[in-house]
Amino acid sequence: MTSPAPPGPPRPTSRDVARAAGVSQATVSLVLGEKWRGRVSESTAGRVRDAARGLGYRPNLAARNLRLGRTRTALLVVPALTNEFFAQVYTGAAAVAAEHGFGVVLYPSPDGTGPARDPFPSARAALDGVIASSMAADALDALHGADVPLVMLDSDPSAPGPAARVNLDIADGMRQVARHLLALGHRRFLHLASAVDTWTFVCRADALREELRRAPGTAVRTVTSELDVRAGRDAAEHALGLPGPRPTAIVCDDDILAAGACKAARRFGLRVPDDLSVTGFDDLALATAVEPELTTVRLPAVRVGERGMAALLAVLDGRAAEPGSLPVRLVVRGSTGPVPGGAGA
């Protein structure tokens, strides 16, 4: 017979954490139970967390959940799993959740930005809260009735409902695009807009129109497209083939549409950016996979997920979520250049 394996080292306890941090077990319980604010200093809480991490301490979550009446599970609802932006949002949310002993369930809405169904027989029994990214204002009505805290990401700030909201400064991103192209001399624009009816795309269109309206002699034509490279190519081809002066710049609502616009330009024998400038939005991996690489707006998607999960934790703890929109930044690459000679006159 083989001898049983020797027992491993004993699991660290809250008493070990208290001893390592130089605090009481009650303080350890407050900090690791996220009930320390107003009772324990920030530096002491940090010392306790560092000690727990160093010892590899893991609290008995099952016992704690029974005591608090929580599942320590959040639901992240997204329009699609195939979009890189939402994968990064999940990465950020899951990282913050893990630091607090939470799990995040990723749930793609079956109808995209349309109404999301309750994925559980009873969301109240299965979840502590819901985080929804880039969904239409009325898409989560089914989950509102479940009486769980809702945090909306990238959504209409005027719409009622959520317990907290985390937004990007989308309008400023589009303003940066418009100012960049105007400074290069462009005055004739094509806006290749997303056909998806959500706040984030409405915001992009409004900001572009407002910024171009301030510049004398500008003209902009808008065409819509599904968020697909081929659909974007077809919509751009149609617009480029219309009678009248051709645009010198195509402003796209996202990098996927911008890739389609670049394909359309090649079909017309146009060089990007010598004959036609193209801009994207989001700064997906696709932006540096195309040639020339896309000038686009970088959205801090991971940070959006982090802030969203932090906001949900704040709501659950009875605190106010961090205010303010996350800044975005224009990344200038090879797909934009000066207006072709005389075309902007």
- The predicted model gives 167-171 an average pLDDT of 96
In the three-class reduction of DSSP (H, G, I as helix; E, B as strand; rest coil), residue 296 is classed as strand
Q: Which helix (H) or strand (E) holds 225?
A: strand 219-225
In the three-class reduction of DSSP (H, G, I as helix; E, B as strand; rest coil), residue 135 is classed as coil
pLDDT of 273 higher than 70? yes
| Record: fold of 14-59 | 434 Repressor (Amino-terminal Domain) (1.10.260)
Mean pLDDT is lowest, of 82-96, 132-146, 225-239, 291-305, for 132-146
70-168+300-326 shares its CATH topology with 170-299: yes
The single-letter DSSP state of residue 288 is G
Domain ranges of the chain: 14-59, 70-168+300-326, 170-299
What is the CATH code for 70-168+300-326?
A: 3.40.50.2300
- The predicted model gives 196-216 an average pLDDT of 94
Mean pLDDT is lowest, of 151-160, 241-250, 259-268, 329-338, for 151-160
Q: Which helix (H) or strand (E) holds 314?
A: helix 301-316
Tell me, what amino acid is at 319?
A: R
Cα–Cα distance, 83 to 104 (Å, whole number): 18
- The burial class, CB within 10 Å (0-12 / 13-18 / 19+), for 126 is middle
| Record: fold of 170-299 | Rossmann fold (3.40.50)
Cα 33–chain centre separation:
28
Peptide bond preceding 273 in cis form (omega within 30 of 0): yes
The confidence score (pLDDT) of residue 334 equals 97
Predicted TM-score of the model (pTM): 0.75
Cα 171–chain centre separation:
15
Angle (CA) 111 112 118, round 5°? 60
Cα–Cα distance, 283 to 299 (Å, whole number): 7
Higher pLDDT, 162 or 181: 181
Contact between 143 and 123 (Cβ < 8 Å): yes
The confidence score (pLDDT) of residue 182 equals 97
Q: Render pLDDT for 78-133 as a digit per residue (tens, 0 to 9).
A: 888 888 999 999 999 999 999 888 889 888 875 554 444 545 544 445 678 889 88
